[in-house]
């Protein structure tokens, strides 16, 4: 935090109140002074006080609830180290992992040792359950979904029968994620607060009505409410400079992204950016495009990805590596939209639009933290400008197509085209499927019917470097509610007859115009590779065939089924 230690309270002042082993652990790990939220919680008259604390992510709240909870355990007579005394619930695997790591630091000087077990999705359920039952964890950090799994086992419920403290971290986020029923079920299966008398703590950036309804199950009537959020302080979304760069067509999105990142790196060699994508598969595509497969990233910038399709081990490793690096690019889905505290993020880029207004706020909130300088950028296709237009309360400045003095130094369109050719076909096809589902889920906001959804997704497929429309299984098409919609290629059936009106193969990434391809679709020049016709005419549609007809004109002609191998766009 950007606060002088001279104005903060030292942990040493808690000598006599906090157990020596906790003070020793703080010293060993370099924790010398309290942050404001830690000071407010730790200077309560008693460490066993129930409390509702409003605090933002990245303010030190993890230590603020762990220290009093651990103090409570250490003061418990005849503490059963083989039973869970402290239960912490968090909304995401990554946040749970961070809490467990902090807990291990704070208990490192405890004798006998306190073991912390983490229960999260994405890990092998049976193996982790067996470990939980065989070992003697005194602390359990869990996501609600996986904890529900644990509680189906009688032996696991028995291990939770002697709880002394329950903490809800990022409570508002858990409710946003739909965990309210799971939290209620968990609180009904552990010993009731009224009978067991365990301490309750709830940490949340906001306190919506849904949280207030749940508080009686966690906090007693005399709980203390604390806040380190200045009501007069402008939120991050109001202070971080925000810009949207609209592009002429979907084919210009990736070249513009390359140009934005290249120019940002030229301005600041220590560029550390998060690039948010609409779906996990989209994030995976850009990771391959800018990473080892395509190699499109600016020099000396390591590339990372964080998305829900990764294993828990992969995500944990990424969190650790991206935290430690002083520069790099993280391509992410909204698994890191909120709750993750990565230091020194100086740029956030959003590709396309977020699915919710709050999602935009949380994404922008990853930069400009703790008094640091940050910037947020959106790159939107014409069909996506509805988000900016429908949210005039966000201070998003529309500066037109990206135009930076250094942009001409980077042939972004050529670099992206060459890099896409190196990305595995399956990766591009999966990104298409994910994008199709995303657009379908927001079709009303896009103001599209089902035909328009498929048309837009197919144009994105070309922008992703797909040579052909990817083939979908009949089951997947049915699940998406797109059965019979023209423009899809269905396994065993070929192209659904009657392509979308006005659909066309996006004829590639033109290179004319300012920004060396960053906004080149409107600038003409040599078009990129169309899905069937080799070189297209420009940034617009695919070029006509020699017979004068567009590639899609004869798709679905009666008595003719286009080959799935080379489908007609």
- pLDDT tier for residue 547 given thresholds of 50, 70 and 90: very low
Please tell me the predicted confidence (pLDDT) of residue 347: 96
Which residues of the chain are in CATH 3.40.50.300 domains? Answer: 5-227, 236-420
- pLDDT tier for residue 528 given thresholds of 50, 70 and 90: very low
* Distance, CA of 273 to CA of 327 (rounded, Å): 8
Whether 500 and 450 have beta carbons less than 8 Å apart is answered as no
- pTM of the predicted model, to two decimals? 0.65
Please tell me the predicted confidence (pLDDT) of residue 8: 85
Q: In the structure encoding, which two tokens stand for residue 232, read together?
A: 């007069």
Please tell me the predicted confidence (pLDDT) of residue 383: 95
Strand partners, 398: 244
**pLDDT over threshold 70, residue 508:** no
| 204-225 pLDDT tens trace | 888 888 888 888 999 999 999 9
φ, ψ of residue 291 to 5 degrees: the values are: -95, -140
Residue 130, Cβ density class (10 Å: 0-12 exposed, 13-18 middle, ≥19 buried): exposed
- pLDDT tier for residue 519 given thresholds of 50, 70 and 90: very low
H helix runs in 366-489, sequence order: 386-389, 412-420, 425-441, 443-446, 450-463, 474-479
Least confident range from 32-36, 276-280, 552-556: namely 552-556
| 56-88 pLDDT tens trace | 877 899 999 999 999 999 998 888 988 999 999
Q: Which of 512, 487, 483 is nearest to 498 (CA)?
A: 487
Residues in the chain: 569
Q: Report CA dihedral (419, 422, 425, 426) to the nearest 10 degrees.
A: -90
Please tell me the predicted confidence (pLDDT) of residue 371: 67
Which residue's structure tokens are 């799994």?
149
Question: What is the rounded average pLDDT of the residues 169-197?
Answer: 88
Please tell me the predicted confidence (pLDDT) of residue 315: 79
- pLDDT tier for residue 323 given thresholds of 50, 70 and 90: confident
Q: In the structure encoding, which two tokens stand for residue 32, read together?
A: 């010398």
Greater confidence, 234 or 138? 138
Please tell me the predicted confidence (pLDDT) of residue 498: 62
- Of all residues in the chain, what percent are helix, strand and coil, respectively (each to 5)? 40, 15, 45
Strand order in the sheet with 494-495: 471-472, 489-490, 494-495
> Mean of the per-residue pLDDT values for the chain?
84
Q: CATH for 5-227, among 3.10.180.10, 3.50.50.60, 3.40.50.10490, 3.40.50.300?
A: 3.40.50.300
Least confident range from 9-13, 45-49, 462-466, 500-504: namely 500-504
Task: Assess if CATH 3.40.50.300 describes domain 236-420.
Answer: yes
Question: What is the rounded average pLDDT of the residues 453-471?
Answer: 96
Please tell me the predicted confidence (pLDDT) of residue 4: 43
Please tell me the predicted confidence (pLDDT) of residue 123: 67
Please tell me the predicted confidence (pLDDT) of residue 270: 94
| 97-130 pLDDT tens trace | 999 999 999 999 998 889 999 999 876 788 889 9
* Distance, CA of 446 to CA of 82 (rounded, Å): 54
Which residue's structure tokens are 């030229």?
266
Please tell me the predicted confidence (pLDDT) of residue 420: 97
**pLDDT over threshold 60, residue 337:** no
386-420 CB burial, b ≥16 within 10 A, e <16: ebbeeeeebebeeeebbbbeebeebbbbbbbbebb
Which residue's structure tokens are 């990104």?
431
Q: Which of 516, 518, 542 is nearest to 528 (CA)?
A: 542
**pLDDT over threshold 70, residue 555:** no
* Distance, CA of 170 to CA of 340 (rounded, Å): 11
- pLDDT tier for residue 527 given thresholds of 50, 70 and 90: very low
Question: What is the rounded average pLDDT of the residues 163-170?
Answer: 95
* Distance, CA of 96 to CA of 94 (rounded, Å): 5
Q: Which of 501, 508, 478 is nearest to 555 (CA)?
A: 501
- pLDDT tier for residue 370 given thresholds of 50, 70 and 90: low
Please tell me the predicted confidence (pLDDT) of residue 494: 83
Least confident range from 142-156, 218-232, 394-408: namely 218-232
**What does 212-242 look like in DSSP terms, one character per residue?**
HHHGGGTS-TT-EEEE---TTSPPHHHHS-E
Greater confidence, 393 or 239? 393
- Alpha carbon 292 to its chain centroid, in Å, reads 22
Which residue's structure tokens are 């996501």?
143
Please tell me the predicted confidence (pLDDT) of residue 369: 73
Please tell me the predicted confidence (pLDDT) of residue 57: 76
Q: What is the CA radius of gyration of the chain?
A: 27
Instruction: State the first-to-last Cα distance of the chain, in angstroms, to the nearest integer.
Output: 54
142 prior amide bond cis, ω within 30: no
């Amino acid at each position: 935090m950007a606060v002088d230690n001279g104005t903060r309270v030292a942990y040493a002042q808690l000598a006599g109140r906090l157990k020596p082993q906790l003070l020793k652990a703080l010293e060993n790990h370099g924790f010398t002074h309290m942050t404001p939220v830690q000071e407010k919680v730790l200077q309560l008259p008693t460490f066993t006080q129930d409390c509702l604390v409003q605090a933002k992510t990245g303010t030190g709240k993890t230590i603020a609830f762990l220290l009093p909870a651990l103090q409570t355990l250490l003061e418990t007579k005849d503490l059963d180290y083989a039973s869970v005394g402290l239960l912490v619930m968090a909304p995401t695997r990554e946040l749970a992992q961070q809490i467990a790591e902090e807990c291990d630091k704070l208990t490192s000087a405890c004798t006998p040792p306190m073991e912390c077990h983490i229960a999260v999705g994405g890990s092998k359920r049976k193996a982790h359950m067996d470990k939980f039952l065989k070992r003697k964890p005194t602390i359990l950090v869990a996501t609600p979904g996986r904890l529900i799994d644990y509680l189906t086992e009688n032996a696991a419920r028995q291990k939770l029968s002697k709880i002394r403290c329950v903490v809800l971290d990022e409570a508002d986020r858990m409710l946003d994620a739909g965990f309210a029923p799971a939290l209620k079920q968990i609180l009904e299966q552990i010993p009731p607060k009224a009978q067991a008398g365990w301490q309750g703590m709830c940490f949340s950036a906001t306190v919506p009505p849904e949280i207030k309804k749940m508080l009686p199950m966690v906090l007693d009537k005399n709980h203390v409410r604390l806040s380190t959020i200045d009501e007069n302080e402008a939120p991050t979304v109001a202070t971080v400079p925000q810009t949207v760069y609209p592009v002429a067509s979907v084919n210009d999105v990736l070249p513009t992204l390359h140009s934005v990142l290249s120019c940002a790196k030229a301005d600041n060699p220590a560029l550390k950016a998060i690039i948010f994508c609409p779906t996990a598969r989209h994030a995976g595509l850009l990771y391959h495009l800018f990473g080892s497969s395509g190699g499109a990233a600016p020099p000396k910038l390591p590339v990372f990805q964080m998305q829900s399709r990764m294993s828990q081990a992969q995500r944990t490793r990424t969190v650790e590596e991206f935290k430690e690096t002083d520069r790099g690019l993280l391509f992410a889905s909204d698994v890191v939209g909120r709750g993750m505290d990565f230091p020194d993020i100086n740029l956030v880029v959003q590709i396309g639009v977020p699915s919710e207004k709050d999602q935009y706020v949380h994404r922008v909130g990853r930069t400009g933290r703790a008094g640091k300088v940050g910037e947020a950028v959106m790159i939107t296709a014409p069909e996506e400008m509805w988000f900016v237009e429908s949210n005039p309360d966000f201070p998003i400045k529309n500066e037109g197509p990206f135009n930076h003095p250094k942009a001409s130094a980077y042939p972004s369109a050529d670099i992206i085209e060459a890099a896409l050719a190196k990305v595995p076909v399956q990766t591009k096809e999966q990104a298409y499927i994910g994008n199709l589902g995303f657009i379908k889920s927001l079709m009303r906001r896009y103001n599209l019917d089902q035909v328009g959804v498929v048309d837009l997704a197919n144009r994105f497929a070309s922008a992703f470097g797909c040579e052909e429309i990817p083939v979908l299984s009949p089951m997947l098409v049915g699940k998406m509610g797109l059965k019979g919609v023209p423009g899809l290629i269905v396994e065993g059936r070929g192209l659904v007859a009657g392509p979308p009106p006005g659909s066309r193969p996006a004829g590639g990434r033109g290179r004319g115009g300012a920004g060396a391809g960053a906004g080149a679709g409107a600038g003409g020049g040599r078009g990129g590779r169309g899905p069937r016709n080799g070189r297209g005419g420009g940034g617009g549609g695919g070029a006509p065939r020699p017979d004068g007809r567009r590639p899609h004109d004869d798709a679905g002609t009666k008595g003719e089924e286009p080959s799935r191998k080379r489908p007609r766009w």
